[in-house]
Structure 1
Amino acid sequence: MAPKPSIRFEDLGLSTPLPHVLSTTREQKKKEKHEIKKERNARLREAEEQLSLAKKKVIQHKTFVETEAAIQKKEKAERKKAISEKQQCTRQERELQENIKKRESIIAQQNYITKLTEDRLAEEKRKQEIQEVINKNTEELVKLVPKNVCIQVNRSSDVENTRKELPVLREEQSIVEAINNSSRTCVLICGETGSGKTTQVPQFLWECGYGDIKGSSFAREGAILVTEPRRVAAVSMAKRVAEELNTSFGGKVCYHVRYDNNLSENFKLKFATEGIVLKEIQSDFLLRKYSVIIVDEAHERSVTGDILVGLLSRILPLRNDLYLEDLQKHQGKVENTTIKPLKLVIMSATMRVGDFKENRQLFPISPPLINVESRRFPVTNHFTKKTELRNYVDETFKKVCQIHKKLPPGGILVFLSTQQEIEDLCERLRIHYAKTKIEYYEKSYSKHSMVVQKQEEKDSSDSETEKEDKSDEKDEFGLTNEDYSLEKGDEIGDFSISRKRSRETSDMEENNNNNNNKEEEEENEINGELNTLHILPLYALMDFSKQQEVFREPPTGKRLCVIATNVAETSITIPNIRYVVDSGRVKTKTIDESTGASCFRIEWTSQASAEQRSGRAGRVGPGHCYRIYSTAVYSNLMPKHSSPEILRTSLESVVLLMKHLGIDNVGSFPFPSPPKENDLKRALSHLTLIGALDSKEERRITTLGRRLIAYPIPPRFSRVIAEVLDQKLPDSILLMVILITAVYSTTTNIFTGDGNRLKWKSKEVTTDDIDERRSLIHSLLHPGSDMLTCLNAFGIYLENSSTLNCNRYCLVQKSLSEARQLSQQLQSLARQNSVVEQVEDSLEANDVTTGSVGCLFTKNGKLTLSKEDEITLRKIFIYGLPDQVARRATIQECRYHGVEYKDNKATKAPYIILSSSMIAYIHPTSSIARTFPPPEFVTFAFLQRSVRSETKDPATMMLGLTIVIKEWLHECGVTVE
């Protein structure tokens, strides 16, 4: 076994032997402990010193804080004391100043009272001096200024007797005094139809010296102007007033309507339509030639009437202020003044005058109101117990037959809503009474004898009982209101009175012809005669000569029966009407707020209009109104008043007229009823687009806009005429544009209802007469443009304007007649505004009245038009219709708008209107309704809201269409997506 190696101290990490190491380590530890203890004691002493120092500092800080608090408390007490002293000083100063002001105020009041006293004494002294001067020169002043002016009028005894019965005559003095005393506001006269205000108030003013040189001392020599909303009223009223004044018609009394007048140089009284007066205001804003203006039929609230009243509300104070300035300048000599004062009278047939009387923006001073007694005789209203919602024309027919058969003499006035309804009912009544015999006596009534005998027997049996009910009172024919109710279940006013019938029919026959035959068998009388009912229609589109027939006496042995629209409600008075049959309907034009499309709707008339219609029966004696509706409909469905026309029509022409007159802020104009803000914005946008207004914020009228206002047509069409003149296009193009714009400014459709139905329904009816008319209508249609179709139709009318020829082609004769007159006026205006002498000369040669037909049309009335001219015509109208362009909708657009995409028929294809991104359709009466494939782009003249035959849903329809192409739109500045 090998020996173990020895271990050295170096191997163990020790340099010295272990005992020595251990000894050294113990000493070091002892030394270290001592050092640690020493160091700990030193730190303890240091800590005690620091603690002692900190206690000293705390004591010092506490002493400092207490000292500072004492100082602040002392300063606060001093400040409080100082503030209290300052406040006391301030209070004393304020009281001192208030006392000074109070003393000054008392002194000022005393001075003011002294001054007032002195002024009053001075004023009394001046008045005394003036009174002395007046007293000294009384005789001279009486010679210079007459106290009163009275124009003598030699009327016939018949006229005098008729006038005495009019209610308005009892208010003559109050009316004249109110007009004479008004200077800064108007006079309101309210009287129901038949009170005589339209014919008599102008005569009151005539007799007071207005319009006469004898009234110059009172500045009344200016003419009297009466405005009417309708031409027929202006003409008929002027004629009637001339007869009553016993003066020549067309001399001192005259009328002025569109396309017609009988003006003389020295007229004193003029009846004019509202549009004519607006044209006069454009040339003479102050209307200097008139001393008094009467706005009649203000309750109708037409657009022109509202604008006229708004303008006159500003002209009235302006002109009177200018007169006072001129009077002062001429030292009170009225005869030397160059401008005379103006009086304004507003007359209404209803009590709806709050829009005039309470509108402080219109008249800052509330105008006086004079109420004229209503109708002279009572009218009994008969309501039906059940309202017929659809076949109300049939009910009207039955009611007319019952009246003619059973009731005493007296004319019948029937109110329906549309021309078609009127023509149909007239034809139906003519056929009925052509084979039905009726006993009719003009001045007596024999059918009441049996009723009288029966009533006498009843009275004798019940002699002890007296009845107070008014319904049992007899009239001159021995009939009571119960007898006039005609049938069981009629309601008289608010009371229902039922009559015993001799028999009751258990079944109603479904066939109208069978019903008519049954009525004829029942109505035929032994001593009766045929054709005892003189039937006359009356509506706005009738010729004036035919309208005048309703004012003539009916033939001997016939009862007058006038079937009219609401044109017979006011303005005109049909003589000898005793019975009114009111369907309760009216055709109104409205504007769709979202689309801007016009829409003709047959709606319930207003309660005010129903009362107007009823009042027509109380002119010659107690009358009766038969309402084809119930009291519930009258109370719950009929509005109290119709909405003003300005709220349901486009405003482009109105806004442009105001801008032309210098009314920049149209929204602040004093409308009797302010128009809707969206309608104003739409009008401003369109006028800016066609260049009539500038694009600045004020939207001021441009030079082009002043040219457009000269034409009495919508600005979009006058823009086309201006563009033709600017481009110096051939005179034939200008003439054709004038003819087209004349038609479209007059009507939206020149074809009658039969004509529109015969355009395309070639397989339904095959009679020779209808086939001939259909072929004639087809000869007028132009496959590319409704405007050119209208031009073709206009050519036929200009070649032969007879009624027979218009009936052959199913043309609306009245509309084309007005279009012809308008085209003559437009040619004259284009001649005045022409910038090229050559155009002037060509228009002179091609006047419609002197031979333009030969220039544009062949002998048979056909249009002679080259392809280039046709393109020019279709293109030029884009300038007036930049916002009325439509593009055929894509499948994606149809899905987005939720409509069905179809392109197999033009009338079924949806179109997108570029300016509004709205869906519209081609109207089925359009000339391009059968174009295939449907055109890509079209322009349209009108939008109409109507029901589509395919879906039976209301939709926006385009009328006055023309096919255009994309390149033409770019040339005319229309942006196409």
Structure 2
Amino acid sequence: MKDTKILEKFKKRRNFKARHNVPTRVDTSEQQKIKVDLDTSLSAQCDASNALVLPSEKRQTQKIRSSEPVRFLSKKYRKRLQKIVDTKLKKANREEILSELEQMHNATKKKFPALTSLQATQTLGRKKFLNEDFDKEIAAALLAEGKGLLHSNKNLGNCSISSSAKRKRKQDLIELEANKKRVVRDPRVVYSTPSSSESSDDDEDEVAEIKTESETRCDSKTEVGELKTEENSVVTVNENEKENTEKSATTCINTVDGKKSAGPQINASVTIKESDRLPSKYVHVKRDRQMAEARLELPILAEEQAVMETINYNMVTVLVGPTGSGKTTQVPQFLYEAGFTSKGQMIGVTEPRRVAATAMAARVGQELGLSTREVSYQIRFEGNTTPDTKIKFMTDGVLLKEFQTDQLLMKYSAIIIDEAHERSVYSDLLIGILSRVVPARQKKNCPLKLIIMSATLRVEDFTENPWLYKKFGGPPPVAKVEGRMFDVTVHYNKKTADDYVEAAYNKVCKIHRQLPEGAILVFLTGQQEVNLVCKQLRATFPRHASSGTDGSETDKAAPTLPAYRQHVNKLRQRRKEHKEQSRKQDTEETEPEANKLTRKLLELKVDQFALAASVFPDNEGEMNDIDEQEEDDQETNDDSDEEHEQHGGQASDDDYDLEDDDATAAAAAVARKAAAAATATTKEQPLYVLPLYSMLPSDRQKMVFSPPPEGTRLCVVATNVAETSLTIPDVKYVIDCGKAKEKVFDKVTGVSMFHVTRCSQASANQRAGRAGRVAPGHCYRLYSSAVFNEYQKFAKPEIMCRPIDDVVLILKNLRLPVVNFPYPTPPEHVQIRQSLKRLTYLGALKEKDPDTGVTKEAKSQEQSEKPIEKDTTLITPLGRLMSSFPVAPRYAKMLCLSDQFNLWPYTIALVAALTVPEILVEMPLDTDGHDFDARRSEWRKVRLAWSGDGQQRLLGDLMVLLRAVLEAEANNNSQHFCDRYGLRQKGLLNIRKLRRQLTNEVNMVVPGVSVLMDPSLKMPSRDQCCALRQVVLSGSVDRVARRVDTSHFKEPEDKIKWKHSYRTIELEEPVFLPNSSVLKIDKPEWVAYQDIFETHKMFMRGVIAVEPHWLSKFAPLLCNFAPPLDKPAPFYDSEKDSVMCYRNATFARADWEVPRCLVPHPAGQDLYARFAYHLLKGEVCPDLLPLVDYLIDTLTLLRPLALRYQNQKDAMLRALKVCDVTSRSKLIKVWKKRPNYLLREYCMWLSDGSHEAVVKKIWPPIPKEKNEWLA
């Protein structure tokens, strides 16, 4: 009703305007002019007519208004008005400019020699225009007249490097005179002085339209004039323009009730102070002459002005330039010369690798002529930064740690993210964090410039992601820099060959026989394909004895592809026979003495570690330089350095077109069979064939950079490692198979496998670009153009292709949101969900109820596939400790449990070996037939012997890995030792580096511990091996498998499928132990593995044997516990300060039964009753033992249905529930605040009231040394 009355109040009634009493002013001027003469004789009579008095027209009325309100001018509208004012000033001053031009045109003839026409400049050319005689004339004219064309002097001062000191002195003299009258202007200030005499018709129309709109908004009596400059803005004017700037300006005023508002004032004069002038900043740099000349050859130097303008006027800039354009070394110098370090701040440059950070710091310091105190670097445990540092190169992890202590990064004025095209998870993480730091710094009037540098044109992830730039007001601009690239002609096949290996071999033969000189680069997918093609090419084009040979090449006849496949089939058949024999001899052995060792369980004590608030993994990004080089050709790089097809495009040159027609394809096999015989009679040029893949030793990788022997042509057969990591010189021909071997990761199950798939278009362009480095080249693609168009443009970022457990843990440690974090490429919700679940199982996170905030004990394993709306997990103290180690969370959990049994040296070595992949070589290099099988058999015997027996054998594959690391370290990781026992030297050297790094981390985090790297470290004892098994299980709680008993299957097909297999907690399919596992013969019932890889079957890797009763200790969240058993009855453990009970349990979703386990009592009503019972019995507080005999029946606390002493029981349980007291430590904590807590409840259980005085005297019942705080 109230709302209805209000509406009726404002409702317009009938004849509203007439009824509305508006104050008006009547115009009676016309009536005053009327003269009325009436006959007085008729005054006695009544005349009803007044026609002589009424006016001929209706009187004019005007409403009286107390004030004239004007619409408030917004900031945007004032800018538009300012534009109108500037346009008016340009038109007003147009006459003065024309007069000045006329005076200059009528100048005396003496001034004409000082001027140079544009025609003369273009005709003579730059060299003649800047010769010595011309400089003399210009300098004389300037010095004589005292003024001149500053623009010409500026051009003369910015010319190329002087060839003599005399010319340099002349230029300095010219600049000195010109600086006296130079007008210094801040490029960030918009000036009101006219910059040109005329404007286009479009601009005039736009200004007129804005003017019309503005006049309709303002009152008609108010003129739109020049807006007053804001007090905080900086205005710089020329001396000749002082008169114009001192004039008054009018503007629209915001008035309310006739009073002026706080807006711009009328007729406010603009005064310019000398202190308000902000000259442009420039830091002079003295460079070496040779260094400066080499610097001028970089393509980015010509774009310095455009790059700096983009950086100055934008908070975030994306800089795109191919490799070799000079981005990394020159952009920091641009910022330094522009004065970004003049206020005591630094320029930060992040690199994904430690080697790049140290090398680039040395290079930039050398070019700038600065010492290491001013251009420094900072990596993990190493750096030379000082308080005088101006430019700081660092890894991603170092900046992440600084963000934890200083979330606004106030010490930096600009941050450069280099190599962003690699899309590593840590660079993406850093970009997301900085996307929120930059706007926060802008609000504090202390701007931070962010420059993201990429080597590819894949910038949509940065410019089209609203999560990144929603705080910037729009997508960031993209500055492009051209690279140095020769034309590359791309040739496509008419048909895509099924056997790309055979097609690649035929294409190499045609190029070598028909085309001119030039190195050949062939791209294949894996190590086996590379070695096979190398052997075939060496057999087809052998090197003569006079040309010399090296140890890496052999002139053995290589098998053909059909012969090679037959050989592989024979090997598989031999393996099957060996399996059948081994299965018949399988025996399960047990060790009675092992049962005693397995009962000793490790305890996790986080409090013993020195975990400060600032502990943070500041080197996650640094791990990339170890891991990235160790992948077995599994990553496809998506950074195309050049868009080379815009130069060459598809070829039309018939001389280089080697397309196979049908006849040629049909005769390919015949020609190849005759090739071996033809080489004996013909004299073809030898082919110097070299392989290249990541597993190749470093000394053999370096051979591709050496020139080939005289009279030979270089041919490199490589995997995708040659796309970007290495640049092979003199490559003119590139053969691209269009395939790549990449690691496919299942986001739910965690199973990984290698698939040969199509590469991306960016990767194909990158491969083709290898042919245009030193000269024009050709790229032969073994597929059609239609197939190329079906390729995806770019490969998936790394964050989409691997687990993100470490990323989630970092964000949790930084207290940043995980779900709504501004990722450049957001991961899928299933990835985040699985990572949160795995970290919860490891104990790094804990679940909480989103409504009550109460931590849950466990969470259901079945989770919906809906997107995550809110993250309800919290990081635990263990999680913060795990985040301090630069390894995966699983391995960090292992390190946290290694403070017992002196396990530090062994766990560090084991974690380092697990982090660096592919240490054990499975396939020998450069061996065939019998030698191949013999070496593999010898290696397996050695590794079986390394596994030992007893507890060492139960450590399984990790014992072999640990023994290999320790034995190689004892032999100084020599190449001879590695070749003899099938170890990869490069990986062992990286393990040594990581061991040293982890040793330093442990010594820093754990107080009182001094771990050393002992080269002669002995093998672990039996107790240590048993403890190491528990340590490994603690980090692999969700990767447990159980051997399948095939006797439960009824169908024969199921028995065959599950024979000798294991079942995991995540997969429904069987998994197997590989032949390389030392546990293949023993086949323990319970195992833990590191990961699963799939070929024709799914195999476990890094397998150890575990005991089932360990699972309830290290994986409680994966166990399904039954209610506590009454027999044995629960009891209070004073050492663990907890009520313990025995429970039956099953493990995981498969409900595997595990032995009866002793675990803490679950929370609930029964726990409070049990604790109250043990408290009354004197087990919690021994000082109450003398009073036990004077208590009433305490067993009623354990009988829910008992009605006796109900008041006493309810009072005791209620008091414990209110303060949530279930342990002695919690009880003492409450007693510190409330000394009389539980006194009344305890006295209620006394059978005689005479003992209350004794109880009050000893209350609270704790030892005197702990009761001092009550005094």
TM-score (norm 2): 0.54
Match of 2:13 among 74, 91, 103: 91
User: Aligned-pair distance for 1:687?
Assistant: 0.9
Q: What's the counterpart of residue 683 of structure 2? A: 524
The 3-state SS of whatever aligns with 2:1054 is: coil
By how many angstroms is 1:302 displaced? 2.4
Tell whether the 8 Å contact from 2:690 to 2:704 is kept in structure 1 after alignment: no
Partner of 2:1064: 913
| Cα separation, 2, equivalents of 1:670 and 1:623 | 42
Would you say the 8 A contact 1:194–1:573 is kept in 2? no
Cα separation, partners in 2 of 1:385 and 1:917, compared to 1, 3 Å? closer
Q: State how far apart, in whole Å, the 1-side matches of 2:884 and 2:312 are.
A: 36
In structure 2, distance between residues paired with 1:97 and 1:739: 97
Aligned mates of 2:273, 2:710 — CA distance in 1: 64
Find the structure with the greater CA-based Rg: 1
What residue is the counterpart of 1:178 in the other structure?
Answer: 310
Pair 1:123-2:228 in alignment: yes
* Greater relative CO, 1 or 2 (CA 8 Å, sep 6+): 1
Picking from 440, 444, 455, the partner of 1:318 is 440
Partners of 2:233 and 2:876 in 1: how far apart? 59
Q: Distance in 2 between matches of 1:244 and 1:544?
A: 31
Residue 967 of structure 1 and its aligned partner are, at CA, apart by: 1.8
Cα displacement (A) at 1:522: 7.7
Paired position in structure 1 for 2:282: 148
Partner of 1:702: 876
Deviates more, 1:255-264 or 1:296-305: 255-264
Distance in 2 (CA, whole Å) between partners of 1:523 and 1:181 is 68
1:794 counterpart = 2:971: no
Distance in 1 (CA, whole Å) between partners of 2:375 and 2:532 is: 39
Deviations 1:356-397 (Å, cap 9, x if unpaired)?
A: 11212101231111233355322101223333334x334334
Equivalent in 397, 414, 418 of residue 526 of structure 2: 418
Matched, 1:685 2:837: yes
C-alpha contact (below 8 Å) 2:1088/2:1106 kept by paired residues: yes
Q: Does 1:820 align with 2:820?
A: no
Total equivalences in the alignment:
770
Structure 1 residue 277, shift from structure 2 partner? 4.5
* Residue 160 of structure 1 pairs with residue 293 of structure 2: yes
- What is the CA deviation profile of residues 23-51 of structure 1, one whole-angstrom value per residue up to 9, with x for unaligned ones? xxxxxxxxxxxxxxxxxxxxxxxxxxxxx
Whole-Å Cα distance in 1 between the matches of residues 388 and 234 of structure 2?
A: 44
Give the distance between the partners of 1:269 and 1:582, measured in 2 at CA: 41
Q: Residues of 2 paired with 1:876 and 1:280: CA distance?
A: 32
Question: For 1:654 and 1:308, how far apart are their aligned partners in 2?
Answer: 11
Contiguous gaps of at least 5 residues in structure 2? 1-7, 23-62, 74-217, 243-270, 549-644, 851-871, 1120-1146, 1153-1271
1:676 aligns with 2:818: no
1:602 to 741, 756, 762: 756
**Could you tell me the percent identity over the aligned residues?**
35
Q: Which letter does structure 1 place at the counterpart of 2:825?
A: S
| Corresponding residue SS for 1:666 | coil
Output aligned runs, 1:205-604, within 5 Å. Answer: 205-210=335-340, 215-216=341-342, 221-228=345-352, 269=391, 272-275=394-397, 277-278=399-400, 281-282=403-404, 285-288=407-410, 290-322=412-444, 324=446, 341-364=447-470, 365=472, 366-373=475-482, 376-390=485-499, 392-422=500-530, 425=533, 435=543, 481-489=653-661, 506=667, 508=669, 514=673, 517-518=676-677, 520-521=679-680, 524-525=683-684, 533=688, 535=690, 537=692, 539=694, 560-570=714-724, 573-604=727-758
For residues 845 and 385 of structure 2, what CA distance do their matches in structure 1 show?
A: 36
Matches of 1:558 and 1:247, distance apart in 2: 46
2:831 & 2:482 partners in 1: Cα distance? 39
Quote the Cα distance in structure 2 between the aligned partners of 1:97 and 1:684: 73
Question: Could you tell me whether the CA contact under 8 Å between 2:361 and 2:393 is conserved in 1?
Answer: yes
Q: Deviation at 1:516? A: 5.9
SS at match of 2:1016: helix
Q: Distance in 2 between matches of 1:536 and 1:197?
A: 32
Q: What is the aligned partner in structure 2 of residue 927 from structure 1?
A: 1077
For residue 307 of structure 2, give the secondary structure of its aligned residue in structure 1. helix
Give the residue type in structure 1 aligned to 2:655: D
Give the alignment partner of residue 883 of structure 1, picking from 1015, 1038, 1043. Answer: 1038
Q: Distance in 2 between matches of 1:193 and 1:757?
A: 34
2:1166 aligns with: none
Higher helix share: 1
Distance in 2, Cα, partners of 1:423 & 1:823: 33
- 3-state SS of paired residue (2:873): coil
SS at match of 1:123: coil
For residues 97 and 911 of structure 1, the distance between their equivalents in structure 2, rounded to whole angstroms, comes to 95
- Give, in whole Å, the separation in 1 of the partners of 2:732 and 2:318: 30
Match of 2:1085 among 936, 946, 950: 936
The alpha carbon displacement at 1:651 in A equals 0.9
Aligned residue for 1:508, secondary structure, equals helix
Match in the other structure for 2:920 = 751
Contact 2:1043 2:1062 in 1 (8 A): yes
Match of 2:1028, SS? Answer: helix
1:139 to 1:263, Cα distance in 2 relative to 1, 3 A:
closer
Per-residue Cα deviation, 1:915-938 (whole angstroms, up to 9, x for no partner): x36334124145245224x32211
Which whole-Å CA distance do the structure 1 matches of 2:702 and 2:333 have between them?
Answer: 23
Secondary structure of the corresponding residue to residue 361 of structure 1: helix
Which SS does the other structure have where 1:872 is aligned?
Answer: helix
Q: 1:853 aligns with which of 1015, 1040, 1053?
A: 1015
Correspondence for 1:658 among 795, 805, 811: 811
Q: Which residue in the other structure is 1:712 paired with?
A: 886
Return the offset for 1:355: 1.6
Assess if the C-alpha contact under 8 Å between 1:922 and 1:929 holds in 2. no
Cα deviation digits, residues 790-820 of structure 1 (max 9, x gap): 1111122212211221121112222222222
Change (3 A) 1:790 1:193: same
Give the alignment's TM-score, normalised by structure 1. Answer: 0.69
Question: How big is each residue's C-alpha offset from its partner over 1:299-357, in whole Å with a ceiling of 9 and x where there is no partner?
Answer: 33222222121122122223444453xxxxxxxxxxxxxxxx43222223333211211
Unaligned runs of 5+ in 1: 1-85, 325-340, 441-470, 490-497, 857-863, 949-955
CA 921–111 in structure 1, closer or farther in 2 if over 3 Å, else same: closer
Q: Residue 652 of structure 1: CA displacement?
A: 0.5
Find the aligned partners of 2:1108 and 2:233 in 1 and give their Cα distance. Answer: 86
Higher mean alpha-carbon deviation, 789-798 vs 812-821, is at 812-821
Going from structure 1 to structure 2, the CA distance change for 1:580 and 1:152 (only over 3 Å counts) comes to farther
- For the residues of structure 2 that align with 1:123 and 1:400, how far apart are their CA atoms? 75
Q: Which amino acid aligns with 2:990?
A: E
Structure-to-structure mapping, 1:700-779, within 5 angstroms: 700-725=874-899, 729-731=900-902, 733-747=903-917, 749-754=918-923, 772-779=938-945
Aligned partners of 2:926, 2:20: CA distance in 1, in Å? 93
Deviations 1:666-697 (A, max 9, x none): 11000111111111011001111211112214
Q: Structure 1 residues 236, 420: closer, same or farther in 2, change over 3 A? A: farther
In structure 1, C-alpha distance between the alignment counterparts of 2:305 and 2:787, rounded to whole Å: 41
Alpha carbons of 1:929 and 1:919: their partners in 2 closer, same or farther (altered >3 Å)? farther
User: CA 1:587–1:799 in 2, change beyond 3 Å: closer, same or farther?
Assistant: same
The DSSP-based 3-state class of the residue aligned with 1:668 is coil
TM-superposed deviation, 1:869: 2.0
Contact 1:168 1:200 in 2 (8 A): yes
User: How far apart are the structure 2 equivalents of 1:260 and 1:547?
Assistant: 29
Distance 1:262 1:373 in 2: 34
Displacement, 1:607?
0.8
Query: 1:832 is matched with which residue: 1001, 1004, 1027?
Result: 1004
Deviation string 1:396-453 (CA, Å, 9 cap, x unpaired) is 344344444544444443333334544555566566665359999xxxxxxxxxxxxx
Paired amino acid for 1:752 = V
**Residues 622 and 130 (structure 1 numbering): CA distance in 2 closer, same or farther, change over 3 Å?**
closer
1:702-757 superposed Cα distances (whole Å, 9 cap, x missing partner): 111111011111111111111223xxx122x221111111111222x422231699
